[in-house]
Amino acid sequence: MKSQSSPPSPLSSLRSRVVAVAAAAAVLAGVAVTYTLQAAERAESADATSEFGLDRGKLYFRSTTEAAGRVARVPASGGGGGGTRTTGGPSCERFYAAAGTGLCLQRRSGIPPKSYAVVLDDRLREKRRIALTGIPNRARVSASGRMLSWTMFATGDSYAGSSFSTRTSILDTRTGYLIKNMEEIPLTLDGRRYHSPDVNYWGVTFAKDDNRFYATVSTKGKTYLVRGDMAKWSATTLRSNVECPSLSPDNTRIAFKKRVRKGTRDPWRLYVLDLRTMREHPLAERHSVDDQAAWLDDDTLAYALPGADGRKQDIWTTRADGSGRPTLRIRDGSSPAAVR
Amino acid sequence: MYLATTDAVAKASEQEQSGVRRGRVAGPVLALGAVSLVTDISSEMVTAVLPLYFVLQLGLSPLQFGFLDGLYNGVTALVRLAGGYAADRGGRHKLVAGGGYALSALSRLGLLLAGGATAGIGAALAADRIGKGVRTAPRDALISLSSPPDTLGRAFGVHRAMDTTGALLGPLAAFALLWATADAYDAVFVVSFCFGLLGVLMLVAFVPGHLSQVSPRPSRPAPERHRPAAPRPRALGLLRVPAFRRVLCAAALLGAATIGDAFLYLLLQRRLDFAISWFPLLPLGAAAVYLLLAVPAGRLADRVGRRVPFLAGHVALLGGYVLLLAPTDGWPLLIGVLLLLGIFYAATDGVLMALVAPVVAQERRASGMAVLQTGQALARLVAAAGFGAAWTLWGVGTALTCAVVALTVAVAGAAALLPQSHTSSGGPT
């Protein structure tokens, strides 16, 4: 008999060590299996059917507390912490809706994990499902409900190992035409046609005519506001240091996040840009906002911030003219979308 | 035969004489391999899900994630050196390595307890990276100290194959768990912790603690001649050993011409334009080749000398670059690049440790390996940054051509630098 391990120990000692490690392994396996089973039980079945539809005068959002991960709604008017929330909408990582169309970005775990953009009708029933890869990030529906756009973060697709790049898609629900990755759109930067492998778009927002749109483009470490044209399929930069634009309902202003600090500590602040004068002003919110703000009406913007007291995210509102003070609108929520 | 006759070596050769078949590696190497396998399941589980966890569950921005992730990679270089030095002082390899394993295992609990607090997550990530940095050099030193010098290649081959097995299983386990629990990331952390703790227990139980009874006192025959006078086993003294210096320079030179896997995968994706959902499978393909070839490459290294496979591995990498430049397309390109990348890792990763072990005195083994690994890692960092810049400035074709030229020069330089042989003669110096 020879021992596998070399220390000067008799066989009995090796055997006792094997027994001890095997016993420990059994205990650890027990812990792992028990915890996993409990977690699996805890996970409620992600029900696709919604208990409500898209109605005017409601503010929809993704709930991060009760019925976590599912869409909920509150009346659009009336402030406060949202006592009258109705839960039980579709299960989405990111949600937006306008007129009779909802857009729900989902992720399903598995090997490999899959993501979907799900188009929903006015009863929030599934109309179309598009398989994607990456991590859901931005979602927008044009005011008419016709044009949809979403952005996914792609991991592993980057020039530096740990950074992300984005893939932005545009879907015309009337024709069914889908642009899976708008990266190839002819881009004019500072007046010249521009080519670079590192061009990334995100945060598309459509105008009332369902043709003109605005978005962020980033290249070589800078971000720009671009104006795009669906019919001509072209894009032109207007201004630098603009991210996640969001067009006001009257189409005269753009809310966006502006990088005000280098590095990762509180880098962004919300601004509003007047498209006629091209003048911008900061909003009253002093926290760094990493979200595509949503216009509740022509005077009010909503956006998600990391929650206090262990809450994941809260939805705040602030006035678009920069006056007043931000208000906590919905605790434990993200992806605000007002259906007007 | 070069190198001191250590207790461990004596024991290992006793084992061989007493009927252990040729081709087996020493018990401690198998034990360390098993520890690495289990630990890699643990760590790769977490690595695979962290981006998703941060962005989806916690709502951190990718920017913050990238920052957290990148922050500690620089730190690990220093920690690695400290780990190597601490292990050499008094021959506490097992203690230092075990501390590193334990710290990484505990960091999973940290992730669990941190909830959404960025500071807590940052601390947990730091603990994990520090643990990884601390343990690597002592572990490789233990492998080298418990193997006869003429079987080092095989020993490292076996270890790396087991290690890679864990790295392949980890992400599968993690995604299966997420799938089964509908994205319960806490379950991933708990299971990862269990694997990590099991790894620590296996290390404690099966890896002998006092291999370095070899170093302080007993027999000090020939090779100790590059050791300075006994009372100063300083880590910096290593750089005064010409053979070590040459290995270090060769590794750094080659590292500075190694552009990084992420770029190769990205280039493959661009050339072949396959669905992005296949992207995560590319590293698995290369790892599978690595896994299959690690042991044969190690054995070959023992037979023909370690510099040959080490250089040949880099030639394989060069072949991968050339293939990406050539008008190859479709499956041949994909399979060719992944195969060559796998060969590169199989022929260089463990082999480099086997190459350096004989030129570093035992009581400085862990420090020497730490210095070498750090030098290589820093050089690769420079290479990645340089390639990224070249790509942006001149386009991908020119950047790749530069890489081909740089690697060709580096291989030639390394061939001139690397000592001819360690296994035979009385020493490389």
pLDDT (tens digit per residue) in A149-163: 999 887 643 333 445
Residues of A in contact with B65 (CB under 8 A): 162, 164
Contact (CB, 8 A) for A270 and A289: yes
Stretch 153-182 of chain A: residues touching chain B, C-beta under 8 Å: 153-164, 167
When mean pLDDT is compared across A213-227, A246-260, A290-304, B50-64, the lowest value belongs to: B50-64
Q: Is the Cβ pair B15, A2 closer than 8 Å?
A: yes
In the sheet that holds A135-141, the strands lie side by side as A135-141, A147-154, A165-172, A178-179
Residues of B in contact with A134 (CB under 8 A): 276
Confidence check: pLDDT of A211 > 90: yes
- Best A27, A264, A287 member to test B by mutation, with max B CBs in 10 Å, is A264
Residue A77, Ramachandran bin (φ over 0: left; ψ between -120 and 50: alpha; else beta): beta
Tokens of A139: 């979602």
**How does DSSP assign B357-377, residue by residue?**
GGGS-GGGHHHHHHHHHHHHH
Contact (CB, 8 A) for A115 and A107: yes
Q: Is the Cβ pair B26, A313 closer than 8 Å?
A: no
Regions of chain B short of the pLDDT cut 70: 1-23, 59-74, 116, 210-236, 274-278, 280, 421-429
Tokens of B312: 């040949």
Report whether the peptide linkage leading into residue A112 is cis, meaning its omega lies within 30 degrees of zero. yes
pLDDT bracket for residue A284 (50, 70, 90): very high
Nearest CA in chain A to B17: A2
pLDDT at residue B318, rounded to an integer:
96
pLDDT at residue B248, rounded to an integer:
94
Contact (CB, 8 A) for A247 and A272: no
Q: Is the Cβ pair B191, A32 closer than 8 Å?
A: yes
pLDDT at residue B194, rounded to an integer:
97
The torsion of the CA quartet B378, B382, B384, B386, rounded to 10 degrees, works out to 180
Contact (CB, 8 A) for A32 and B221: no
CA–CA dist A313, A336 (Å, integer): 11
Nearest CA in chain A to B19: A2
Contact (CB, 8 A) for A254 and A234: no
DSSP H or E run through B171? helix B152-181
Contact (CB, 8 A) for A125 and A49: yes
Q: What are B118-126's contacts with CB under 8 Å, separation 24+?
A: B118/B60, B118/B64, B118/B68, B121/B54, B121/B58, B121/B68, B122/B68, B122/B71, B125/B68, B125/B69, B125/B71, B125/B72, B126/B71, B126/B72, B126/B75
CA–CA dist B429, B424 (Å, integer): 13
Strand bridging mode A135-141 / A58-63 = unpaired
pLDDT at residue B336, rounded to an integer:
94
pLDDT at residue B222, rounded to an integer:
39
Q: Is the Cβ pair A158, B51 closer than 8 Å?
A: no
CB atoms near residue B56 (< 10 Å): 22
Instruction: Say how many residues make up chain B.
Output: 429
Contact (CB, 8 A) for B84 and B70: no
CB atoms near residue A45 (< 10 Å): 7
Beta bridge partners of residue A152, listed in sequence order: A136, A167
CA–CA dist A103, A136 (Å, integer): 12
Q: Is the Cβ pair B190, A267 closer than 8 Å?
A: no
Tokens of B329: 């397309």
A145 touches B at CB < 8 Å: no
The torsion angles phi and psi of B214, rounded to 5 degrees, stand at -65, -35
In the sheet that holds A71-75, the strands lie side by side as A71-75, A58-63, A333-339
CA–CA dist A238, A226 (Å, integer): 6
Q: Is the Cβ pair B184, A107 closer than 8 Å?
A: no
User: How far does the CA of residue A276 sit from the closest CA of chain B (Å)?
Assistant: 32
Instruction: Say how many residues make up chain A.
Output: 340
Confidence check: pLDDT of A9 > 80: no
CA–CA dist A75, B223 (Å, integer): 82
pLDDT at residue B228, rounded to an integer:
42
Residues of A in contact with B273 (CB under 8 A): none
pLDDT at residue B386, rounded to an integer:
86
pLDDT at residue B206, rounded to an integer:
92
Q: Look over chain A and give the mean of its residue pLDDT values, rounded to a whole number.
A: 87
Q: Is A86 helix (H, G, I), strand (E, B) or coil?
A: strand
Residues of A in contact with B201 (CB under 8 A): 20-21, 24-25
Percent of chain A with pLDDT over 70: 89
pLDDT at residue B115, rounded to an integer:
75
Q: What are the tens digits of pLDDT across the range B74-126? A: 677 789 999 999 999 888 999 999 999 999 999 999 999 987 677 888 889 88
pLDDT at residue B214, rounded to an integer:
42
Q: Is the Cβ pair B63, A267 closer than 8 Å?
A: yes
pLDDT bracket for residue A216 (50, 70, 90): very high
Contact (CB, 8 A) for B211 and B91: yes
- Best A109, A265, A314 member to test B by mutation, with max B CBs in 10 Å, is A109
Tokens of B273: 């334009």
User: How far does the CA of residue B166 sit from the closest CA of chain A (Å)?
Assistant: 16
Nearest CA in chain A to B25: A4
What are the extents of the domains in chain B? 26-214, 235-417
Q: Is the Cβ pair A7, B208 closer than 8 Å?
A: yes
Of A2, A153, A313, the CB nearest to B62: A153
Q: Is 1.20.1250.20 the CATH number for B235-417?
A: yes
Strand bridging mode A234-240 / A222-229 = antiparallel
CB burial of B175-207 (b: ≥16 within 10 Å; e: otherwise) equals bbbbebbbbbbbbbbbbbbbbbbbbbbbbbbbb
Confidence check: pLDDT of A75 > 50: yes
pLDDT at residue B87, rounded to an integer:
92
Give the mean pLDDT of A243-271: 92
Nearest CA in chain B to A307: B116
- This model of the complex carries an ipTM of 0.79
CA–CA dist A154, B69 (Å, integer): 16
Q: Is the Cβ pair A6, B12 closer than 8 Å?
A: yes
When mean pLDDT is compared across A76-85, A94-103, B216-225, B255-264, the lowest value belongs to: B216-225
Residues of A in contact with B28 (CB under 8 A): 5-6
Q: For the domain bounded by B26-214, which CATH number is listed?
A: 1.20.1250.20
Confidence check: pLDDT of A36 > 90: yes
Q: What are the tens digits of pLDDT across the range B35-51? A: 999 999 999 999 888 87
A26 touches B at CB < 8 Å: no
Strand bridging mode A234-240 / A187-189 = parallel
CA–CA dist B139, B95 (Å, integer): 10
Give the A:B interface size as CB pairs under 8 Å.
182
User: How far does the CA of residue B271 sit from the closest CA of chain A (Å)?
Assistant: 13
Contact (CB, 8 A) for A145 and A134: no
Of B12, B205, B266, the CB nearest to A17: B205
pLDDT at residue A135, rounded to an integer:
83
Nearest CA in chain B to A136: B56
Question: What angle (nearest 5°) sits at the alpha carbon of residue B60, between those of residues A124 and A89?
Answer: 15
Closest CA to B322 of B409, B398, B404, B260: B404
Closest CA to A96 of A123, A48, A146, A62: A62
Of B201, B206, B275, the CB nearest to A24: B201
